[in-house]
Structure 1
Amino acid sequence: MTAPSGAKRMTVIQATFIGVGSMVGAGIFALLGAAGAVAGAAVWLSFLAAGVIAALQGYSFAKLGAKYPSGGGILGYLSHGLGEGHLTGIASWLFFTAGSIVVAMIASSFGAYASSVVAGGDPFWATVLALVLIVVMTALNAVGSTAVARVQSVIVVVVLAILVVFAAVTIANWNIELLSPAGYPGVREIIASIALTFFAFLGFGVITFTAKDLPNPSRQLPKAIYLALAIATTIYVAVSLGVFGTLTADQVVEYGTTALAEAAKPTLGQAGYVLMVITALFSTTGAVNAGLYPSIGMTAHLASVGQFPPVFGRSIGRFPVGLLVMAALASILVVGFNVNNIASIGSAVALLVFTAVTVAHFRLYKITGANIIVLVIALVATLGTFIVFCTTTLANEPATAIALIGIILLSIAVDFIWKARARRSSPPAQPEPAG
């Protein structure tokens, strides 16, 4: 299927960079310490295994995207496989709400980094700078996908260049003994850490929403998905080898979000710290840009099929309503809540939606030409990751567990209320005239 000529605005590389920008965000800074506390120096194996699981899920998305390309992305795949009932509607509201939370969390991270540079870490200015980023990225998305793709390409190139330099420098000077398998924990711990490192790949689902902007999505979308996952996996493995080959696992856990800067210091000195701050600012900017991008096509598609109110398919001037609602919700969360306390909620929701999409694919695999065995493995791997997440991360984050239950109940309520209202307001069917 080929997009209309007016929609030919994005290349495979640009679609790839939207996915990479969504994945390689601030999470890499926080994940190393958290994963290191569980898997020690074997974190690179966790990233590699998580990349394989993501590739299995990516195979499912690529097959669906090639057959059903639309601005609705993975939520459109749900519609094709499960219909337009309550399950698809609830998943859609859940995904939209969680997306707003993730945008708020990443914007808050940007604010924290930026304020540490320009305002000594003042919390007030951290909030102001986070809101400024949301406003700027909202305006950029309103300009159009071409502007989004071009800016995202610049951001991702800068981030990847810095991380490649970081990985090359640290690996060239690493202490190989720190990575000795003799110091690795047991297999159970490494498997448990995969639930953490897999979260670094969840952003690749954003690529499915680029189908509306690709000239030939049936061919280009799968290429973008596979290329983005390959780039992210390579970067994550290289960075983790560099960090854990320079610092002990205990040091990585102790340094936390500054572990990358500390690992760069032996060879780059203070320049290493500056590089990591620049990386954090660019990566969080790119992640907010990529996080807002799906809101336009997603909500327009959902409004067109009746899952969302028709207003979500409209625009106020040049600003699509879906984009404005997501930006407004994210801004409210930045001002009124400590979203870092429920940072994992986006991961939990993404895993649930990914699982639902794969289940839907079972009803479509003969049409998409997908291998049923690969789909089964993908489902088991993704569902298994969610179960491990629930028994590890959620068990230690009651705020996240409560918030997850809350937005699930809210999504159910909104879906049932909206559809009941829509049924009442729709005109009754007229009887056909006799004869």
Structure 2
Amino acid sequence: MSSEKKLSLFDACGMAIGGMIGGGIFAVLGEGVMTAGNATFISLGIGGILALITGVVYARLTTKFDESGGEFIFMEHIAGVRFAGTISWFLILGYVFTISLYAYTFGAYSGRLFGMESGPNFWLGGGIILLLTGLNLSGVKESGISEDILVYTKTAILIGLIALGFYTVQPDKIYPIANEGVGNMIKAGALVFVAYEGFQLLTYDYNTIEDHKKNLPRAITISIITVTLIYMLIAFVLTGSLAQDVIAEHKETVLAMLAQPVMGQLGIVIVLIAAVFSTSSAILATVFAISRLGKRIAKDGQLPHQLTDRQSSGVPVYFSLMLAALAILVQFFGNLEQITTFSSITFLFVFSIVNYMGYKHSVFNGWNRAVPLLGSFGCASAMLVLFYEMFVSNRQTFYLVLGIAVVLLLCREAYIWFHSKYKGKRD
């Protein structure tokens, strides 16, 4: 690693902010507003608090074990490699849905940018997954400088949207704040939680961060607080500026409408372009990150080595192609709400476990030990809220999610059995 340029605190913050803003807010804001109404900014604040607690626990566990690898390393050290492998399979599935979410959003924004109807959106989303997977396999990835420029440009555009939005906020649209009820406010906080997924990607690059024991916790804390404030302000000016029928009509690309009252069509185009670059960048970064995670899991025998043995530019070929195929299938069969819900459920599940492990491993002392326990309870409760809402409002999706979880567990158990049998014969 000595010959590789280390990531500064500025670079690390950019990576974490980019991982969260990458496609999250462009994808889920409309769903959040349709659920919580004027209280969406509070919902995003709730999600931000959970993310901040979880991020601090991630940072402390990573620095304690002093090793790159994120959740897999924590769980391997604390609960054993088999448990770590099982949870990592769920994490990989969560990333598949996240890639699909970004691709779905890319299709919606790029389709609107080019004046297309909604029909071609799937083909645009599927095409960008294949294109960016191919770029990953060819060794193309963002450099540190280009990534910083892209991330901070996106952040500047969002801050500009906030500033423009405050010019058009109308008090009569802001009140009442809880116009959709407290229950929906909490539900929306759980639903849009996937918008905070991304900070943990820093733990995969822990060893490449300059003075990592100090800068990793700083970068995670700074980035989550920054993103939470941006999300809350964006949601506040959106609900205070746009009528509900406009939000409902443009739910999938609602962020683009925020610039229209001041900048007209030019403002819409700027946001559409920003969303297209943002979601494509998020796909590229996520595919690359999961590929590294896949190699790390396979190294300990918790993933079929055939998926990661053949590599191109350090990226496992078959594993990457499998991810791309699954993400395209999810995008084809799922709608935005279903994809968002499953993504959020998966990360809430994994984060609740990581928080609990932080509690058991005493990453805090004294009364502060309750902090990770609170994070675990919060993430688990939010996950249960989503399950309950699915059971009540969309029974078919509820059973589909349970079915996917059961199938994944069965596949995992079958792999463990075959792997141990093969290993026993080989030994």
**Bucket of the pairwise TM-score, normalised by the shorter protein:** 0.7 to 0.9
Give 1:203's aligned residue.
Answer: 198
Residue identity matched to 1:42: A
Give 2:45's aligned residue.
Answer: 48
1:95 counterpart = 2:114: no
- After the TM superposition, which residues 36-435 of structure 1 pair with which residues of structure 2 at under 5 Å, given as runs? 36-85=33-82, 87-118=83-114, 120-121=116-117, 123-124=119-120, 126-142=121-137, 147=142, 149-181=144-176, 184=179, 186-249=181-244, 251-321=246-316, 322-334=319-331, 337-338=333-334, 340=336, 342-343=338-339, 344-365=341-362, 371-393=368-390, 395-427=392-424
Residue identity matched to 1:153: D
Residue identity matched to 2:268: Y
Residue identity matched to 1:172: Y
Larger radius of gyration: 1
Residue identity matched to 2:98: V
Q: Distance in 2 between matches of 1:395 and 1:228?
A: 36
**Structure 1 residues 38-81: Cα deviation after superposition (integer angstroms, max 9, x where no partner):** 43322222222221121111111111121234442222212122
- Change over 3 Å in CA distance of 1:151–1:64 after alignment to 2: same
- Whether the aligned pair in 1 keeps the contact of 2:161 and 2:234 (CA below 8 Å) is yes
Residue identity matched to 2:233: A
Q: State the shift of 1:216 in Å.
A: 3.6
- Change over 3 Å in CA distance of 1:370–1:99 after alignment to 2: farther
**Structure 1 residues 123-148: Cα deviation after superposition (integer angstroms, max 9, x where no partner):** 35x44433442244334444669735
**Structure 1 residues 225-263: Cα deviation after superposition (integer angstroms, max 9, x where no partner):** 112212211211121121122124554345423433333
Residue identity matched to 2:327: A
SS in 2 for 1:293: helix
> TM-score normalized by structure 1?
0.86
Larger CA deviation: 191-200 vs 155-164: 191-200
- Whether the aligned pair in 2 keeps the contact of 1:71 and 1:298 (CA below 8 Å) is no
- Whether the aligned pair in 1 keeps the contact of 2:109 and 2:253 (CA below 8 Å) is no
Q: Distance in 2 between matches of 1:122 and 1:181?
A: 33
SS in 2 for 1:147: coil
Residue identity matched to 2:10: I
Q: Distance in 2 between matches of 1:364 and 1:427?
A: 33
- Change over 3 Å in CA distance of 1:183–1:383 after alignment to 2: closer
Q: Distance in 2 between matches of 1:79 and 1:355?
A: 16
Residue identity matched to 1:31: V
- Change over 3 Å in CA distance of 1:311–1:41 after alignment to 2: same
- Change over 3 Å in CA distance of 1:17–1:398 after alignment to 2: farther
Q: Distance in 2 between matches of 1:127 and 1:35?
A: 22
Q: Distance in 2 between matches of 1:347 and 1:319?
A: 30
What fraction of aligned residue pairs are identical, expressed as a percent? 25
- Whether the aligned pair in 2 keeps the contact of 1:111 and 1:129 (CA below 8 Å) is yes
Q: Distance in 1 between matches of 2:144 and 2:396?
A: 35
Residue identity matched to 1:158: T
- Whether the aligned pair in 1 keeps the contact of 2:30 and 2:253 (CA below 8 Å) is no
Give 1:433's aligned residue.
Answer: none
Q: Distance in 1 between matches of 2:177 and 2:411?
A: 53
Q: State the shift of 1:150 in Å.
A: 4.2
Alignment RMSD, CA only? 3.0
> TM-score normalized by structure 2?
0.87
- Whether the aligned pair in 1 keeps the contact of 2:288 and 2:315 (CA below 8 Å) is no
Residue identity matched to 1:43: T
Q: State the shift of 1:419 in Å.
A: 1.9
Q: State the shift of 1:281 in Å.
A: 0.6
Q: State the shift of 1:186 in Å.
A: 4.5
**Structure 1 residues 329-366: Cα deviation after superposition (integer angstroms, max 9, x where no partner):** 334545x5346463121111111111122222233225
- Whether the aligned pair in 1 keeps the contact of 2:106 and 2:125 (CA below 8 Å) is yes
Residue identity matched to 2:289: P
- Change over 3 Å in CA distance of 1:394–1:340 after alignment to 2: farther
SS in 1 for 2:81: coil
Give 1:19's aligned residue.
Answer: 16
SS in 1 for 2:117: coil
